[in-house]
Structure 1
């Protein structure tokens, strides 16, 4: 035991002194004031104006939000877009068929004409932002109810959006920050003609699968390439054969020099959501009630889906994206439970809140802040059981398309029935579109199994008052939900495209309102939206208290956080290339990168997660790495930085001090899974695809030299 303890002490003192990560997801407009000097000390060679400028081209003009959920970058003067493979997954799957499976086998367009247009895909360019806190907060006061406050804010937001959209050219979004204590508006321009240029095989893009997800060492080629098209005048336009490749204001140069320990690294992107201000009892609720239910419900869906996906390539294609999304959050939520428990995050927050209460109850602060913690804790105490229930219920609604679509389509049909003939003809195409969307990728045996399994889990585990209809079904069937779901799928309008289309011809109100799947969908969604009166009252007090908690923590200086939580707005995070402690699973000399040698060591022929194309094995044997090999001779694959990122940063460019592209962010490490709630400055890491591996796959493995020729490459 003594030897182990001494070894731990040695490891702590031998860890790099630079391993402390730079916490923060920063607004670009404040980089000059808050961060620029610190970034320069770490290795930044750009001015703040070169990163964010309204009047001149800057780095922000090369960063896009990809299809509303990821980040991407422009990497050529012909509108070439680089993002993660998992970000392009939906589009790639949509363009795939059993006969031409692009998702499985990869795809590389040799010219513009071969590039493929998915049905719905867009990128969003950031134009500018500004602070409107004073303007909006002047419209509210402390005597308002939360509902009245929200109405006043929304009214002013509508005016701001109207004033800045330039007749509809731009999308304007006004967002709340610091829990409603500040407001900023963001101006964007959307480009909707985006086409697939290239993607590696799924075995490369998802190498390691669920086993390696959130893990290090990693060996994943998680990237895909698209292109933005404009009309002939360079304007955003809907798809047309006449459109031309975009001529962007700015594109990123690619640097092939490689990375080493302590190199500066910054990431620009659209992080989705963090909760760094979350109260202690909110964390405890997630760990003890919400997340365990989420994890169990997700695994239930995954097991039911995989049974069918493994039997059919067509079904696998149809559900690949849905399954990947559920699997990702399944592992994420379990990792959150483990990390938040291990780090005793709720206890640390409670300690901070005790300090806050002492400050809040000083005579000068008591009137505004005295009840803050009490109101917050009261709300969580009232909602713990409901939180668990709601997450089991979400498992049904998220896992089964036919738990949600009957209500969505049914509400439209109710309106349709009440209209005259002319109005029905007007709204019929919209309803037909909903029907087509529902059945486009539906495989009924899978849908039935998921719904039955989720209903059974919900009844057994929710631990909360169930809807009357669900209790009745449970009692009458003795929880035989397989037989029940089989029966209602046979009877329902909503499980047959043909029956729904016939209903449009001959609508029948009684038939609709007595449809068993419509009734089930209605009660499940109604229960999810339901808020008992006691909880509604507590929520009113909670919303005010949470806003005051954040305001008070900033005012008292008890919190050192200077940046707002992530909410899918453009942010910059900066840090360095930093190793984790030595890991025998990694062949690299320093545990801040991985090599192709390590990837080949993981290779398992015909395995779902660790298979590789034979071409990679052949090129590896020949050591045919071209200009993409590291100076030491190995072929790099992934590397680590200590940047502060979260979901939504997937696909974000990793840049060196000159603003050149060195990698592509795609994951975090499971040791720091609590990072969305509390930042760990020792363990926080971002896992990145080395840009040299990306270009080796494009050039040497796939022979897409036409793509490499587009790039501005620095060596």
Structure 2
């Protein structure tokens, strides 16, 4: 069969008229042929060249990946960056102290000299992309094992990256699409001098907390602001007081007119991961095995962090970032379980695969595709219990610093012990810096409780797959009460304090490290986690090849509706409209597509960790002090809904009108459509956005930082 390649020539074939315009996360280089006409009908007024151009400035030059996990946008000629509050959370927490708690109280730099540099923060600009499918696939053949295939591909990828990085000026990334049936390379430029400009107080930036996370209606000022600096010639540079604000190729003008139902809305960003091509068995595995373990493990970590965070502001800062990240995915995974179960997603996928299997076993297709579905189903049946086991263990590693010590600081100390004197001298500064950073965000009594609780959960709940040998032994000897062992092991460990680690660096000993009980336990779990039986290894190899063939065959047979590649942290465009959800008594507004300040005040609970509000906000709401940011209905709009197709990684993405002007900031999805990473729900899927007028009101009217707003180009 002729292979379908997504290219400028063949690309238009991939979008049948039945696909709704608001479904899909699209490559910018294919907008002209795939999407531009639909977008124009919906309200786009830009040309494809104005969205993506290699030779001229375009919208893509104003969109950056923020610190590897979020999206942000440039909104002034002096490199001002806007992203979500939760995306800047780590940096703000790092810069905060108990005495100067910017996370709690907010911060606005009165001038550029007052902007604050976190230790590690970068933004990534997208330069260009190109198709390298034929080149990559020319080095592989169907007889290769998955390991040999990966080896050959990785060698070719390394060549492509070297050929395009211009001596290290650019970062080049080759990424697979359609489960390895296509490959594209992406060229980026990274800027590492990024400084905090301002952030609202947490009572606004995180209003609603975990209770409102993934919910609508929302009333959250989920934004923070930074600035990109360069050397005097506009090139990336390490931090220096001599650096100057970046003069970007393009920045976004800000529109103050607000939005109404049916308005065109376009989002550009870096969506992290979707699984729209996932087989039925994978969905079933996640719903019944992997995600329940994830949820339970995350909650165990959160509960043990929380009891210490409640003791003081200092401890709250220590665990604020880890807790927020854990809580975000905890609620997401529970929402996924509920939504995928409710909509019987695995059942509909199974029906599609039955249809595919019938096509695959026709005489002309059988040799290539005949065993694909059976092989995939066998793999999931074999690994269901391992998926449960692995998720309990993953949450232990994610929430317990001591549980994961073997793969970070412990690994570095092992390399240090084995090195000669010259190498040790080279390693000492970076290991010391790593240790200081780690212990800054670690409180030993909390770490003991987190590790003991996670070990108990893992040992008692992962019953269908053999657990790590040391955990099994300790559990049997202590009736699965791990507190005594963890307390003793920690107290004796060289990892129990920064001072002990530094003392070890002065007098390193392989025997001391190898006999450290905490280090040995961590290594035992990590080794067990990465190990697999020969049977599972073979099944995994066969699954990789079969999944790739399934996607190839689904595209060839035109069975199913998914026509675009899964998200994988590469720049994508999604488009749709401002679109209400059904009327909701929790949000008594004219049309349930926005919230206003009055609705936020109705949620206010004095001194509540999630729903408290600054006294000034209450006063301004009472007096209707909205200034030029009031909507034409007289209220101050806070958040609004669109039907764009986004996922994690899109946090902080700009929401643009048909002229490419900034109207909002994407920050969340709605829990009713939490299955969206696997299947797009045309009726319920929504993106929740901060109205840009609320952002500016918080900066200018509430915070008194009008000088920052004055940097922007405002359109009315």
* TM-score for the superposition, normalised by structure 2: 0.96
Separation of aligned partners in 1, 2:101 and 2:561: 50
Distance 1:415 1:66 in 2: 31
In the aligned structure 2, how far is the partner of 1:354 from the partner of 1:133?
Answer: 29
Shift of 1:512: 1.4
Query: Displacement of 1:161 after TM fit?
Result: 0.6
**Using the alignment, how far apart are the partners of 2:423 and 2:694 within structure 1?**
57
In the TM superposition, what whole-angstrom CA distance separates every residue of 1:238-262 from its partner, at most 9, and x where no partner exists?
Answer: 1110111111110000001110000
Counterpart contact for 1:116–1:196, Cα < 8 Å: yes
Q: 1:134 — aligned with what?
A: 134
Question: What is the match of residue 198 of structure 1?
Answer: 198
Structure 2 distance, partners of 1:336, 1:43, is 33
Mapping of 1:255-266 within 5 angstroms? 255-266=255-266
Aligned to 1:267: 267
After superposition, the C-alpha distances for 1:325-358 in whole angstroms (9 at most, x for unaligned) are 0000000000000000000000000000000001
Q: CA deviation at 1:407?
A: 4.5
- Give the match's secondary structure for 1:227: strand
Deviations 1:115-173 (A, max 9, x none): 11101000000000000001111111101111111111111111111111111100000
Contact 2:222 2:667 in 1 (8 A): yes
In 1, the alpha carbon distance for the partners of 2:551 and 2:525 equals 34
Secondary structure class of the residue paired with 2:532:
coil
Helix, strand or coil: the match of 2:426? Answer: helix
The secondary structure found in structure 2 opposite 1:710 is coil
Contact 2:406 2:526 survives alignment (8 Å) = no
CA-CA distance at 1:506 after TM superposition: 1.9
**Mean CA deviation greater in 427-436 or 127-136:** 427-436
- The answer as to whether partners of 1:20 and 1:682 remain within 8 angstroms in 2 is no
Query: Is the CA contact (8 Å cut-off) linking 1:253 and 1:713 kept in structure 2?
Result: yes
Structure 2 SS opposite 1:494: coil
Paired residues, number: 698
Residue 663 of structure 1 corresponds to 664
Q: Which residue of structure 1 lines up, in the alignment, with residue 14 of structure 2?
A: none
Q: What CA deviation, in whole Å up to 9, does each residue of 1:282-330 have, x standing for no partner?
A: 0000000000000001110111000000011001011101000000000
Contact in 2 for aligned 1:21/1:642 (Cα 8 Å): no
Q: CA deviation at 1:236?
A: 1.1
Q: Which residue of the partner structure matches residue 469 of structure 1?
A: 470
Of 408-417 and 55-64, the range deviating more from structure 2: 408-417
* Structure 2, unaligned runs of 5 or more: 1-18
Following the alignment from structure 1 to structure 2, what is the Cα–Cα distance between the partners of residues 419 and 672? 52
Q: Distance in 2 between matches of 1:648 and 1:76?
A: 23
Distance 1:409 1:664 in 2: 37
How does the TM-score come out when normalised to structure 1?
0.96
Question: What is the RMSD of the two structures over their aligned residues, measured on CA atoms?
Answer: 1.2
Task: Return the alpha-carbon distance in structure 1 between the equivalents of residues 267 and 705 of structure 2.
Answer: 27
Counterpart of 2:393 in structure 1 is 393
C-alpha distance in structure 2 between counterparts of 1:225 and 1:239, whole Å: 18
Q: For the residues of structure 1 that align with 2:591 and 2:311, how far apart are their CA atoms?
A: 42
Q: CA deviation at 1:472?
A: 1.4
The aligned residue for residue 158 of structure 2 is 158
1:632 to 1:410, Cα distance in 2 relative to 1, 3 A:
closer
Asked if the contact 2:74–2:81 (Cα under 8 Å) also holds between the matched residues in 1, the reply is: yes
Partner of 1:302: 302
CA contact (8 A) 2:435 2:498 kept: yes
- On the 8 A contact 2:468/2:525 being kept in 1, the answer is yes
Query: 2 CA distance for matches of 1:462 and 1:627?
Result: 58
Work out the CA distance in 1 between the residues paired with 2:201 and 2:513.
45
Residues 197-255 of structure 1: per-residue CA shift (max 9 Å, x gap): 01000000000000100000110000001000111111111111011111111000000
The 8 Å contact of residues 230 and 245 in structure 2, kept in 1 or not, is answered as: yes
Q: 4+ residue stretches of structure 1 with deviation over 6 A?
A: none
Q: 1:268 offset after TM fit, Å?
A: 0.1
In the TM superposition, residue 527 of structure 1 has moved relative to its aligned partner by 1.0
1:414 to partner: Cα distance: 3.0
Distance 1:469 1:244 in 2: 54
1:288-687 → structure 2 map (5 Å cutoff): 288-463=288-463, 464-687=465-688
- C-alpha distance in 2, partners of 1:423/1:52? 47
Structure-2 separation of matches of 1:461 and 1:482? 17
1:14 is aligned to none
Q: Is the 8 A contact 2:580 2:641 kept in 1?
A: yes
C-alpha separation in 2, matches of 1:527 and 1:245 = 48
For the 8 Å contact 2:171–2:188, the answer to whether it is kept is: yes
1:232 is the counterpart of 2:232: yes
> What is the CA-CA distance between 1:510 and the residue it aligns to?
1.9
Q: Cα distance, 1:504 vs. partner?
A: 1.9
1:406/1:494 contact within 8 Å kept:
no
1:10 aligned residue: none
- Answer whether contact 2:27 2:571 (CA < 8 A) is retained: yes
Distance in 2 of aligned mates of 1:105 and 1:473: 45
TM-superposed CA distance for 1:468, in Å, is 2.0
Contact 2:264 2:576 in 1 (8 A): yes
Whether the 8 Å CA contact 1:21–1:684 is kept in 2: the answer is no
